[in-house]
Amino acid sequence: MSASPATAPLVICLGNVVADHTFRVEDIPQPPAKIAARSYSIGPGGMAANAAIAAARLGGRAAFWGRVGDDLNGEPLAAALAAEGVDVAGLRRLPGGRTPVGAVLVDPRGERTIISFRGAGLGTDPSWLPLDRLREAGALCCDPRWQEGVATAAAAARAAGVPVVLDGERSETRILIDLVPRVDHAIFSVTGLANFAPGCSPEEGLRRALACGPLKVAAVTQGEKGVVWMVPGAARAERTPAFAVEATNTTGAGDVFHGAYALAMAEGMPVAAAMRFASAAGALRARDGATPDRRMVDALVA
């Protein structure tokens, strides 16, 4: 992986990193069952970590801020992120902490079943975050798994004029209600938007997000149906259709979308173009089960 040039915009990604153990299986059986996997791999997952890798592969400089434990999974995750060109100076190893882990079961159609352990003993104190680095950042991209970290970093980013993107993924309603007003771009998953605005239609949910703070964009990604987004004052929502691909593994498509979108913001792309750019990155991730590089995404967008 060749490192992006020092002049490339810096995207700081804050939140979750997970040791993902991925099993490809014929089908997902009901218990009791014992089945053989067709293949197995281990690698870094987690929304913000996947977003950081995407930002680096797409030509940005990327840094990851978050926490792991000092157990068997922690150090290899740091090494794997560093091997992707992601700066891990802001990844803390907490003594006695347990690193988040995921078991990802992928069926032949590419649909996934995920069993996740969110980690333990990682603390919530964000006071050690290297907030000074935001001064050289082009965007901050956060997931909701470290609420205190997002609150602290987003406030510093706002003060520095750095756009903040939130991956509004499945979370407790109260966490999303706390975080959404702190960011500039709230881009939800279908479940995340339903958690943020229970009982609302997608468009009502997006309106509610725009009304709760000084947001510039509220959006919901809907897999192969594309992404619906809205800006303040607009009469109605816009839809950016998904690129048609044959999906083999949709794990991480949303994470890659968010990393690509944050990089696009750091590069100063207009919102509609950023939605297309990020959709292409998400589609290629769903097609290949791997994060694309810039050449691939630019080719699909063109």
Ligand X SMILES: Nc1ncnc2c1ncn2[C@@H]1O[C@H](COP(=O)(O)OP(=O)(O)O)[C@@H](O)[C@H]1O
If one asks whether residue 249 binds Mg ion (CB under 5 A), the answer comes out as no
If one asks whether residue 9 binds ligand X (CB under 6 A), the answer comes out as no
Instruction: Name the binder of 171 from ligand X, Mg ion, none, CB < 5-8 A by kind.
Output: none
Residue selected from 65, 229, 257, 261 as contacting ligand X according to rule CB under 6 A: 257
Instruction: With CB under 6 A as the rule, give the number of residues binding ligand X.
Output: 19
Nearer to Mg ion, 73 or 250 (CB): 250
CA 164 to chain centre: 13
If one asks whether residue 248 binds ligand X (CB under 6 A), the answer comes out as no
Closest CA to 179 of 204, 211, 142: 142
Q: Count the neighbouring beta carbons within 10 Å of the beta carbon of residue 5.
A: 8
Mask: binding to Mg ion, 166-205, rule CB under 5 A, as x and -? Answer: ---x-------------------x----------------
Residues 6+ apart with CB under 8 A from 285: 54, 252, 253, 256, 291, 292
Please give the helix or strand (H or E) that residue 163 lies within, else none. Answer: none
Query: And the tokens for 86?
Result: 């992601």
Q: Quote the CA–CA distance of 273 and 259 in Å, as a whole number.
A: 15
Rounded least distance, CB 286 to ligand X, Å:
4
Positions 214 through 233 that interact with ligand X (CB under 6 A):
221-224, 226-227
If one asks whether residue 300 binds ligand X (CB under 6 A), the answer comes out as no
Q: Quote the CA–CA distance of 88 and 66 in Å, as a whole number.
A: 9
- Contact by Cβ (8 Å): 254, 221: yes
Residues that bind ligand X (CB under 6 A): 189, 221-224, 226-227, 242-243, 245, 247, 250, 253-254, 257, 279, 282-283, 286
Residues that bind Mg ion (CB under 5 A): 169, 189, 254
